[in-house]
Structure 1
Amino acid sequence: MTEHFHPGLSPEEVTAARAAHGDNALPKLPPQPWWRALLRQFESPLIVILGLAALAAGMLGEMVDAVVIGAVIVLNAVLGFAQEWRAERALAALTAMLVPTATVRRAGLARAVPATEIVPGDILLLAAGDRIAADGALVSAADCEVDESILTGESLPVRKLLGAEISAGTSVVSGRAEARVTATGPRTAFAEIARLTGGVDRRPTQLQIALGALARWLGLAAIAVGGGVALLGIMVGKDVFTMVLTAISLAVAMVPEGLPAVVTITLALGARAMVRKQALVRRMQAIETLGAASVICTDKTGTLTENKMTATRLWAAGLEAEVTDPEARAGLAPVLPRMAEVCRSCTHASRHRGLDGALIENGSPTELALLALAEGLDDAPRSGMLSERPFTSDRKRMSCLIETGAGPRLLTKGAPDVLLGLVSHIATAGGDVPLDAGWAAAAQAAHEQLAAGGMRVIALADRAAVDAADTAEERLTLLGFVGLIDPPRAEVAGAVARAGAAGIRVIMITGDGAITARAIAGALDIPADHVLTGAQLAEMPDDALAEALDRPVLFARTRPADKLRIVQALQARGAVVAMTGDGVNDAPALKRADIGVAMGQRGTDVAQEAADVILLDDNFTTIVNAIDEGRRQFANIQKFVRYLLSSNAGEVLALVANLIIGGPLIFLATQILWMNLVTDGVTAVALGLEKAEPGQMRAPPRQPRAPILGLSGFAMILAFGLYTGGASLFLFYSVLPVDPALANTLAFTAMVVFEKMSVFAFRSLRTPVTRIGWASNRLLIGALVITLGLQVSVVYIPVMQQILHTVPLGLIHWLWIAGLSLPLVALPELAKVVTFARQQRRDLRFQPDARIHGE
């Protein structure tokens, strides 16, 4: 129902309203001050303990140690603050991209505008899936239902009639409507309980939680070990203050304090990297989950195809013709005006020229293609719509009632297999005749022939209406079919092949017919031995569906509810599922999927809010690229976690072994702090920015519950710890009889160099560095140069010597360090060369399993 056509505000009225009412946005909380983020860096229990140690050192007259510990605390805070600030800025940039839009009519023309620019008096154009951007009153409604649960808690949608009020923040779940805006921004009913714009979910990911738990466990172990070491040292006659300070430093050495910050900044920068690949991450959890994806359930239209519809073929009254062939169309002439009327008037799409002559289009690609077809067939004006039965994914058709000179007429368009069950007559050159078995068979054959060519087929029908309330979709007359071509994206076939090589299964789930779906799947080499329709799926028990999913299958003529069932069936078999969707009814499946993927260009607001990732270009290739990026980031997190823990393991083993031997302290407390809080964090961040390894997308997906370390990780940490700790002890005791200060400096410097050189072993856990390039990570090379340069300054600059209790090293000492550093680079590289060659031989025989990984 509608009052009358509302042209909307003029540009001058919009300008005046914005000046009077401001932006349609809620008042924003002031940003967190920088000093509060800085103070957070001092909240760690270990930092508090270090502060107490510095205070104790000062009270006992050890001013140098007190100053050094204080300086290390401040430096650690500055580095942590810089990392957190960088991560916050990356997340803020993502949030800024999540600005919603709304469709309004202004000066008689529909246009999409940022939701913040809506003003009182605007005419909102609402469709299923839209998030309502402002309070208003309906001036037009067609089967409109609104989900108001965010305001009222009521789970059932509320039917809205002409004149009903709607509220900002609620969602249209079905039908269409137009509303005059009555309140915006802080004056809306929604203002007190929610915010208008979306944002990036900043809750910690499962990986961050797991690593936080690991850090806490190590913290408890560190306190226990540190206390034991202090007690042992005091029992063998060591100075009490020295042993207490050593115990504190040992605790710091055991706990990778920089680990949570490094993970956070890696995930944040990774999310920004995904934006460059046209994937906007709304939930950080998705970054780590993407790397484990084993199945991609994808729509067809716009994701696998270009979503650029063009009407190319027509069928009516037993005749078929190319749209661009006037002679062939001549045989359809008696029916074409009625077909054009349905295409022109049974739609909400619009096409017009702007002031600069550019074509401005509003509407779905299918409706715009039909509208362009109508304009090409004749130049008749659009008839006014009296009432409407909107298209839904369940009905798969749209009907509208128009007024003609001969009385009201019902126009219907939709899926052929749906409309063929609603028609009783067919239009021919000699007039409308009953649809007997012969005509029904001819129509069905025409539909199948068009679909076999990969076309989307739209059926058109009409009938005379009894009165303005007669909208029953029955006794229709079939006018014919329109074949629209939506070619596959050129790059998608390659992306499907990449997914297959990576052990990722691709399943097409489309609302199009089975024949069209099979044609597109064949063009893109998507495996599909059989096709299941939504109707077949509805009658299929769960065990039969599970059996069907064991084979290459595609789904056609599906409803959004079918997606949810498919996701659940795949997850029950151990798959990690990425599911695409764009409609309001796709939200349950997107939420249930391990990775919900919404379309950025054609996705509804509701679908985007339910998703974890938004494709800014609606392209299937972007999903595969995002999975590639997710694998890279998870692999890098594995690398720097192992690197940090192996560095700490060497220090701890050297300290404990030395105390058991009974020798003097191999590392002083300030030296331990220098190694852990100054040099390791920068290197770890650089390691987290490693490029993807060659062959990353030729390996099967990791298991979703695979540990970040595992047995191989612990073995690697222990091996590096034993070597670096043992080598440091060897150097220490080799020089100790000659000069204890020199022995301490030599062991301290060697441990720093060992840790820096061992980073090359962690740049790739499988691929030799010779394959990825020794200097391919320039940030890492820069971090190594800086940290090694700092260590040289510690050894030779008098002020730094006094602070960290070092003495100059000679050339022979540097040669010893270099010689013992060489195995840290050469042996892991040799082992990876051998295993890489074996893996390549296996890859030649590797064929990705078509079944679900993890069964």
Structure 2
Amino acid sequence: MADVQIPATDHPSFTTPETGLTSAQVRERMDAGRTNAVEEHTSRTVGEIVRANVLTRFNAMLGAIAVAVLATGRLGDMMFALVLVLNSAIGIVQEVRAKRTLDRLALLHAPTATVIRDGEMGEIPIAEVVIDDLIELTTGDQVPADGHLRISEGVEIDESNLTGESDPVSKSVGDEVMSGTAVVAGKGYFQARAVGEDAYARRIASEVKVFKRAHSEIEHGINTLLRYITWVIVAITPFLLWGQFRSLEDGQNWQDAVTGTAAALVGMVPEGLVLLTSLSFGLAALALTRRQVLVQELPAVEGLARVDVVCLDKTGTLTDGNIAFDELFPVDGCDPDEVTKALGSMAHQTTPNASLAAIGEAFAAADGWHKAGEVPFSSARKWSAMSFRGEESWYLGAPDMLLADDDPLRGRVAELAAEGRRVLLFQRSGQDLDGDGLPDDRRSMALVALGENVRPDAAETLRYFAEQDVTIKVISGDNPTTVAAIGRKLGLDVGEPVDANTIGSEPEDLAEVVETTTIFGRVSPQQKRAMVRALQANGHTVAMTGDGVNDAMALKDADIGVAMGNAAQATKAASQLVLLDGRFARLPNVLGEGRRVIGNIERVASFFVAKNTYSLLLAVCVTVAGMTYPFLPRHLTLISGVTIGIPAFFLALGPNPARYRPGFLRRVLMFSVPAGAVTGVAIFASYLTARAEDLEVDQARTMATAAALVVALWILVVLSRPFKPWKGLLVGVMIAMAVLAFVVPFVSKGFELDTDASALPFALAIGVAGAIGVELIYRWVERAKFAPPRERRRHLPTS
């Protein structure tokens, strides 16, 4: 038999006998599906991750071109297809890696429950709990289902995971307990009345199942380019193909027309930019993982750098959720040393609740103070007591239960409570303990102030965000006065805290108050979500941090959701970033990586868009002129590799602490489109000159390649500014590689370069003219980009 007696009761919810369910009743409920088993997702499935990274516009465009080249049998011209494979692989590997990390964490922390069945107690996985089970609760247990208490021996529940309220809630017989909460004191038994998907925590979690990918301005800009490029390719391909067939010369066949068309189309697709963006995100995610930050979606690396408002949940973010001793206030005329001895001895000679445990960490047990008797804490009377051999009896509890109505000490209690502190009163009596009775000779000895344990790195992190012009909003389910006190301790300008019970719960109701208020208390999960939406409607980019199920909906709707490492699975699944060690101080690392990625991708994006521009211009020119395309795919591989691919890779990984500025695509287009147009004119001029001189098509293509390399290398020069030694070395190596491609016989043969072309110096001269044009464009753009608006319109020169 179970070594516990569950009393009989007339409570309508208590239908299970004191011996628990029988095996037959358990099987019946399992067959009916009334169990605690739920489909728990830590993130997207592997299939969903693969589909999201493979079925993209970019892959469709490049894949179609690759199939066309494959049909010609010229596999040497298919090297561009490697970008397609690598780009998909980077995204898949990172997201699957993040998923497996969360899966391992979920398995490591899989909880169990102790139930009474057939009169015996046993431990089972929480997924096997069924409706009407009798379940034991002890300190440290997670409540596995919703139900009502049948026995309560001082049970206190931490419901902050659901409500955000950090104060433990005392529970009596008949009170409701909810899944997702935790027992912080006492012992009890409850009967499950809602399990699985019907439980409260699961109902909240079900609202965040729909996956929402983090917004990325870089991805959005690239996708915008791809969308326009797709329309251009669809429109121009028939004319380009027709032009290539029309311009076929003796000895050429349909394969030449198809590969010429493919070369033109590949040049229009920014395949290197897409790959480099994925690679930059992936490497940043890897660096953050080493700092205990798990990136579930690659764009989230960039996302935090764009954020201008961070919404924080107090419990679990600014504080670690544990109660801590704050300060002792001895009453006038009392011996502080005696008070500390009594407090320490009381805390160390009992099974402490959360408050006594915090006191025990502050005060040691005194020598010679041996317990003679005890009255354990009760949620009904709100105090506990202990007597010591040779000493008097001591009482610790809520001041409103131990103080007379007219006691002047109530004023001091009110003052401390207004500062957000939790206050206990410590009294002594010369009489022996008498159960629930309070002796009349009690004398107040001290007020004990408790608070939440503030994370040691929280203040520094908040200062960092303030320096970066990021606004902080603390949104908590706790008392607003308590939240404000924590914020004040951390150096926040808390202003006037707002009790969310006094405001609405729709985004339109909150539009004004979310702008003017820093501290919000007693916020419901629905209001947290509405506040995030209200801030977004006001034009802000919002990050939300949290660890409770009550935070999951807000995290899902935020631009960037950040979950703590100990967060509920539903909360982690709704977030883009997980702080594995739960340290809020990790966020500046994410912001730094995001800035580096944004700044460097903006720099190197100009390489690729310039190439797309001159490729499109060349496609139009050769189609109108009825000429063969000036490059083979392998020529473009050389040009792209030396002037874009290799240097862009190193430039994308360099340090870049510049702050984020909106307008990524506009700034890229300001330089790259005119620079690409100048490059295209230089290439076509070289090619046209060679054809006018009746040079062979291979010689003409060599001239075009030489001109392209000169202009594109100068684009590399201007985009590498300001120069540092490693950048100078990089440019020098790229120039050397371009020269070697022409002077090393087997290399030039592999790229089909005819180095005997007599007009090659003329092509180089055209390239130099193009480089001068690029330099002039760069200087104009730099003046226009950084001048104040009025000066920008007038194009005034800078000093």
Is TM-score (shorter-chain normalized) higher than 0.5? Answer: yes
Q: Any conservation in 1 of the 2:525–2:550 contact (CA below 8 Å)?
A: yes
Question: For the residues of structure 2 that align with 1:485 and 1:776, how far apart are their CA atoms?
Answer: 53
Shift of 1:311: 2.9
Question: For the residues of structure 1 that align with 2:505 and 2:60, how far apart are their CA atoms?
Answer: 56
Aligned to 2:137: 141
Superposed, which structure 2 residues align to 1:634-783 within 5 Å? Answer: 634-661=598-625, 665-668=629-632, 670-672=634-636, 675=639, 680-694=644-658, 696=659, 702=662, 709-710=665-666, 712-736=667-691, 737=693, 739-740=695-696, 741-759=698-716, 761-762=718-719, 768-770=721-723, 773=724, 775=726, 781=730
Question: For the residues of structure 1 that align with 2:333 and 2:761, how far apart are their CA atoms?
Answer: 90
| Alpha carbons of structure 1 residues 834 and 87: separation in structure 2 relative to 1, 3 Å | same
Q: Any conservation in 2 of the 1:146–1:160 contact (CA below 8 Å)?
A: no
Which secondary structure state, in structure 2, belongs to the residue aligned with residue 315 of structure 1? strand
Shift of 1:722: 0.8
Aligned to 1:816: 765
Residue in structure 1 matching 2:520, options 551, 555, 559: 555
Q: Any conservation in 1 of the 2:285–2:298 contact (CA below 8 Å)?
A: yes
TM-score relative to the length of structure 2 = 0.67
Residue in structure 1 matching 2:358, options 354, 369, 372: 369
Q: Which ranges of structure 2 fall in alignment gaps of 5 or more residues?
A: 6-39, 117-123, 152-177, 190-208, 430-434, 437-441, 792-799
Question: For the residues of structure 2 that align with 1:524 and 1:43, how far apart are their CA atoms?
Answer: 49
Question: For the residues of structure 1 that align with 2:517 and 2:53, how far apart are their CA atoms?
Answer: 54
- AA partner of residue 294 (structure 1): D
Q: Any conservation in 1 of the 2:244–2:261 contact (CA below 8 Å)?
A: no
Q: Any conservation in 1 of the 2:563–2:579 contact (CA below 8 Å)?
A: yes
Shift of 1:723: 0.8
Which secondary structure state, in structure 2, belongs to the residue aligned with residue 482 of structure 1? strand
Aligned to 1:482: 448
Q: Any conservation in 1 of the 2:344–2:359 contact (CA below 8 Å)?
A: no
Question: For the residues of structure 1 that align with 2:128 and 2:558, how far apart are their CA atoms?
Answer: 33
Give a deviation string over 1:175-207, Cα, whole Å, max 9, x none: 539999xxxxxxxxxxxxxxxxxxx99986555
1:248 aligned to 2:262? yes
Question: For the residues of structure 2 that align with 1:307 and 1:840, how far apart are their CA atoms?
Answer: 49
Which secondary structure state, in structure 1, belongs to the residue aligned with residue 424 of structure 2? strand
Shift of 1:720: 1.8
Count of paired positions = 676
Question: For the residues of structure 2 that align with 1:484 and 1:43, how far apart are their CA atoms?
Answer: 59
Identity of aligned residues (%): 21
| Alpha carbons of structure 1 residues 803 and 276: separation in structure 2 relative to 1, 3 Å | closer
Give a deviation string over 1:531-588, Cα, whole Å, max 9, x none: 22455x4589977754333335323566666534433432332322222223333333
Shift of 1:245: 3.5
Question: For the residues of structure 2 that align with 1:513 and 1:832, how far apart are their CA atoms?
Answer: 53
- AA partner of residue 726 (structure 2): A
Give a deviation string over 1:263-315, Cα, whole Å, max 9, x none: 33333222223334443223445334323312112245664468897635223
Which secondary structure state, in structure 2, belongs to the residue aligned with residue 173 of structure 1? coil
Q: Any conservation in 2 of the 1:796–1:807 contact (CA below 8 Å)?
A: no
Shift of 1:644: 1.8
- AA partner of residue 267 (structure 1): F
Shift of 1:225: 1.0
| Alpha carbons of structure 1 residues 122 and 251: separation in structure 2 relative to 1, 3 Å | farther
- AA partner of residue 473 (structure 2): I
Shift of 1:719: 0.6
| Alpha carbons of structure 1 residues 214 and 726: separation in structure 2 relative to 1, 3 Å | closer
Q: Any conservation in 1 of the 2:475–2:519 contact (CA below 8 Å)?
A: yes
Superposed, which structure 2 residues align to 1:201-600 within 5 Å? Answer: 206-207=215-216, 211=222, 214-215=225-226, 218-232=229-243, 241=254, 242-300=256-314, 303-304=317-318, 311=325, 313-315=327-329, 318-319=331-332, 327-330=335-338, 332=339, 337=342, 341=346, 347=352, 368-373=357-362, 375-376=364-365, 423-426=400-403, 434-436=404-406, 438-448=408-418, 451=419, 456-459=421-424, 481-484=447-450, 495-509=461-475, 517-518=483-484, 521-522=487-488, 524-534=490-500, 537=502, 545-556=510-521, 563-600=528-565
Which secondary structure state, in structure 2, belongs to the residue aligned with residue 436 of structure 1? coil
Shift of 1:691: 2.7
- AA partner of residue 544 (structure 2): M
| Alpha carbons of structure 1 residues 286 and 512: separation in structure 2 relative to 1, 3 Å | same
Shift of 1:650: 1.0
Q: Any conservation in 1 of the 2:143–2:183 contact (CA below 8 Å)?
A: no
Question: For the residues of structure 1 that align with 2:104 and 2:382, how far apart are their CA atoms?
Answer: 30
Question: For the residues of structure 1 that align with 2:99 and 2:771, how far apart are their CA atoms?
Answer: 46
Which secondary structure state, in structure 1, belongs to the residue aligned with residue 181 of structure 2? strand
Give a deviation string over 1:22-60, Cα, whole Å, max 9, x none: xxx99xx9999xxx999999985654554544544xxxx
Shift of 1:647: 0.8
Shift of 1:86: 5.0
Shift of 1:727: 1.7
Question: For the residues of structure 2 that align with 1:534 and 1:346, how far apart are their CA atoms?
Answer: 36
Residue in structure 2 matching 1:70, options 66, 75, 98: 75
Superposed, which structure 2 residues align to 1:39-58 within 5 Å? Answer: 44=60, 46-47=62-63, 49-53=65-69, 55-56=71-72
Which secondary structure state, in structure 2, belongs to the residue aligned with residue 280 of structure 1? strand
Shift of 1:530: 2.0
Which secondary structure state, in structure 1, belongs to the residue aligned with residue 754 of structure 2? coil
Question: For the residues of structure 2 that align with 1:509 and 1:96, how far apart are their CA atoms?
Answer: 31
Give a deviation string over 1:305-345, Cα, whole Å, max 9, x none: 688976352236x4499xxxxx5344x48xx8579647975
Q: Any conservation in 2 of the 1:753–1:788 contact (CA below 8 Å)?
A: no
Q: Any conservation in 1 of the 2:311–2:473 contact (CA below 8 Å)?
A: yes
1:625 aligned to 2:619? no
| Alpha carbons of structure 1 residues 750 and 521: separation in structure 2 relative to 1, 3 Å | same
Question: For the residues of structure 2 that align with 1:503 and 1:840, how far apart are their CA atoms?
Answer: 22
- AA partner of residue 136 (structure 2): S
| Alpha carbons of structure 1 residues 90 and 620: separation in structure 2 relative to 1, 3 Å | same
- AA partner of residue 591 (structure 1): K
1:176 aligned to 2:183? yes
1:614 aligned to 2:578? yes
